[in-house]
Amino acid sequence: MVNFIMVCQDEDGGFADRPGDEPDPYHTLFGLAGLSLFRHKKYCLNEIDAVFCMTKRSLRSLSYT
């Protein structure tokens, strides 16, 4: 899954739904969320809350957790 997400990344930034397609905000958000949920140390992403699709750090600052 991580490999698929990474081949959907555009060289100028963002993620697309398929390799070679144009990136968009929707797939960029969920691409980053997916990478975070896999906790791949290579990408150094903050941990995501899967329910809110926000970083757990942000939710703590909003007093949701």
pTM of the model: 0.76
Which residues, in sequence order, are CB contacts of 24 under 8 Å at separation 6+?
14, 16, 17
Contact 42, 49 (CB under 8 A): no
Those residues with Cβ within 8 angstroms of residue 57's Cβ, 6 or more apart along the chain or in another chain = 46, 47
Per-residue pLDDT tens digits for 35-55: 888 876 787 888 888 888 888
Hey, how many other C-beta atoms are within 10 angstroms of the C-beta on 44? Answer: 7
Q: What is the pLDDT of residues 25-35, one digit of tens each?
A: 999 999 999 88
pLDDT at 65 over 70: no
The pLDDT of residue 14: 97
Phi/psi of residue 40, nearest 5 degrees: -75, 115
Average pLDDT of the residues in 11-20: 97
